[in-house]
Homo-oligomer: A and B are copies of this chain.
Amino acid sequence: MKIGVGQINTRVGDFQANTQKIFQACEQFAKQGADFAVFPELAVSGLPMKDLVGYEKFVESAETALKELAPKLPLPALIGCPRLCDGAIGVRNSVFWIVDGKICDVFDKHLLPNYGALNDTRNFDSGDKIGCINFKDKKIGITICEDIWSLKEVSTSSRYANQEKPLDYFAKEKIDLLINVSASVFSSANDNVRHKGGMLCKVSEYVNAPLVWCNLVGGNDNLIFAGASAYVDASNGEAKCECLNKFAEDLKVIDTDNVSGYDGDSADFSGDDDLLQALVLALGDFVNKCGIKRVLIGLSGGIDSALVAALAVMALGKDRVIGVSMPSKISSQHSKDDARDLAENLGIEFHTVSIADIVEATESSLAPIFTGLPRDVTEENIQSRSRGLVLMAISNKFGALVLTTGNKSECSVGYCTLYGDTNGGFAPICDVYKTEVFRLSRLINEKAGREVIPQNTIDKPPSAELRPDQKDEDSLPSYDLFDAILRLHIDEYLSASEIIARGYDKAVVEDVVRKVAGAEYKRTQYPIGPKVSPVAYASDRIVSVAIRRGMQ
């Protein structure tokens, strides 16, 4: 059998564009002799739909778009689309089986996740039927995403304790093929899906049939879907696998009678190069799906803004990226030079606007009510916020989206100024630890075979430059130590006492943990940025602000 796997990049609510993509893929698959086509989860509506499902007309319009598409399709297809139904919520996450232009069957997502970045139980009713299609004498089981994550061996095993598991049904049913219409959220630690012996292999073994995993690709707000769709057959001893691209749309016809073995392509996402591609995809898709022409970045001469600018050029091309240097009286010459060098290396439009006069006017205006009070963090923040003011003015005037340059390490402890350097519509590296920022910057230069990010930017000690001779390590532990503690506290949900028990310094750990709690109010107002770690703020770790701090 020949199966057209349509790994497309959809936009939420863009029914016309999404169905057009599906149609074009089907035309290509038909020409290539495919027997049928399959597309990712909710291909017609895009995903995550979140509370847009509350609008009955919205769901109805998606169904209408699917019904208009159906008669035009040149081959049978499995297409994901929400549908109105009876139930507490009244909407299901479904896949439609269309043959000869007609909807012949429909299957609903059965297991609805509510953990990490997912909250399907809020927006969908669970399906009450698990079933197969019969096609060309083959019995093909249909599942949607989470439906296949119910083996004891995989992480969500103990969930859905009281629900029938689709995999148990299909294991008994003796099927010829299992299809999974998927939108699996990327995380750089998610390295156990496609590789030999990984999750897909286990599922194929369990149901004793080959498996087509058609995964979504693209960035939608904070979520990245990595593609990497695959056909996996572990049903007859020796595992076979055929792979689609990672981090890009890919249309591939898989001939199930002629599948190669496992090779290097079948690896998952554990490398820095994957992380880099994920970040580029997320940034480009956010900007493009918002319909924004250009982006704007404050270039400090430091490594965070340098990495963000380099990512932006990779995602959008140099003509859509503007860099602005905003020196103050305190800014060092190397900062100004490094910012200019970076812009030249990237070939982007570059402006310099001094904030000195704005800072002075602000301090003078406030002088009458600040009389007699010592200088403190207030004046540091005035500098950062003056830059925020300048950047937003340029953003407004030029119609360019400001990119926020903060990394996960600084977001964690609030080492940033709200309404200053946190300004922006998207924060490309807010889930990337500082130690990773260094690694990715080196990788970019290495891959380019030249100095894209100035070597001096990589080598010099990080500094916010909000007071003379300031260094990050005056206020924070060394980044190696700092990130190690943060990973335990955030990504592994360990409390201070547990981290200390692992041999870390008590005072340092307690200070970091206290600062993490104290910075929650800044994070509640932080721009959207892509989840790439196992536990990203805003999606995987949601806590209140007005709490007693330091207890966790």
- The CA of A498 and the CA of B12, in the complex, are separated in Å by 21
A298 on the B face (CB < 8 A): no
Most buried by B among A50, A376, A546: A546
A119 on the B face (CB < 8 A): yes
Residues of B within 8 A of A386 (CB): 389
- A133-158: which have CB < 8 Å to B? 156, 158
Contact with B along A363-394 (1 / 0, CB 8 A): 01110111001001110011001101110111
- The CA of A540 and the CA of B123, in the complex, are separated in Å by 11
A58 CB contact (under 8 Å) in B121, B425, B546, B552: B552
Interface contact B366-A361, CB-CB below 8 Å: no
- The CA of A220 and the CA of B497, in the complex, are separated in Å by 27
- The CA of A545 and the CA of B291, in the complex, are separated in Å by 11
Interface contact B366-A390, CB-CB below 8 Å: yes
- The CA of A137 and the CA of B56, in the complex, are separated in Å by 52
CB distance from A310 to the nearest CB of B (A): 22
A366 CB contact (under 8 Å) in B378, B394, B498: B394
Interface contact B355-A365, CB-CB below 8 Å: yes
Residues of B within 8 A of A220 (CB): 544, 546
A548 CB contact (under 8 Å) in B14, B162, B541: B14
- The CA of A546 and the CA of B224, in the complex, are separated in Å by 13
The segment out of A21-29, A97-105, A254-262, A525-533 that lies at the interface is A525-533
A541 CB contact (under 8 Å) in B51, B357, B382: B51
- The CA of A355 and the CA of B368, in the complex, are separated in Å by 13
Counting every copy of the chain, the complex holds 2
- A436-450: which have CB < 8 Å to B? none
A71 on the B face (CB < 8 A): no
On whether A158 and B13 interact (CB within 8 A), knowing A361-B358, A541-B54, A544-B221, the answer reads no
On whether A369 and B353 interact (CB within 8 A), knowing A162-B162, A495-B55, A544-B50, the answer reads yes
Most buried by B among A52, A56, A220, A389: A389
A549 on the B face (CB < 8 A): yes
Interface contact B353-A357, CB-CB below 8 Å: no
Closest B residue to A14 using CB positions: B548
A115 on the B face (CB < 8 A): yes
- The CA of A161 and the CA of B221, in the complex, are separated in Å by 33
On whether A392 and B385 interact (CB within 8 A), knowing A525-B525, A542-B51, the answer reads yes
Interface contact A289-B393, CB-CB below 8 Å: no
A264 on the B face (CB < 8 A): no
Residues of B within 8 A of A373 (CB): 397
- A288-323: which have CB < 8 Å to B? 289-290
Residues of B within 8 A of A542 (CB): 50-51
A122 on the B face (CB < 8 A): yes
Residues of B within 8 A of A369 (CB): 351, 353, 394
Interface contact B358-A362, CB-CB below 8 Å: yes
- The CA of A528 and the CA of B122, in the complex, are separated in Å by 21
A46 on the B face (CB < 8 A): yes
A463 on the B face (CB < 8 A): no
CB distance from A77 to the nearest CB of B (A): 22
Residues of B within 8 A of A543 (CB): 50-52
Interface contact B525-A527, CB-CB below 8 Å: yes
Interface contact B366-A493, CB-CB below 8 Å: no
Closest B residue to A163 using CB positions: B162
Residues of B within 8 A of A158 (CB): 87-88
A57 on the B face (CB < 8 A): yes
The 10 closest A-B pairs by CB, nearest first: A57-B495, A361-B361, A289-B546, A14-B548, A378-B396, A12-B547, A13-B548, A55-B552, A88-B158, A54-B493
23 A-B pairs with CB atoms under 8 Å apart are: A13-B551, A17-B548, A48-B544, A50-B544, A51-B542, A55-B552, A57-B552, A58-B495, A114-B114, A114-B121, A121-B121, A221-B546, A286-B546, A290-B546, A360-B361, A362-B390, A365-B390, A366-B397, A377-B396, A378-B397, A385-B392, A385-B393, A386-B389
Q: Spell out A's residues near B (CB within 8 Å).
A: 11-15, 17, 46, 48, 50-52, 54-58, 61, 87-88, 114-115, 119, 121-122, 156, 158-159, 161-163, 219-221, 285-286, 289-290, 351, 353-355, 357-358, 360-362, 364-366, 368-370, 373, 376-378, 381-382, 385-386, 388-390, 392-394, 396-397, 418-419, 423, 425, 493-495, 497-498, 521, 524-528, 540-549, 551-552
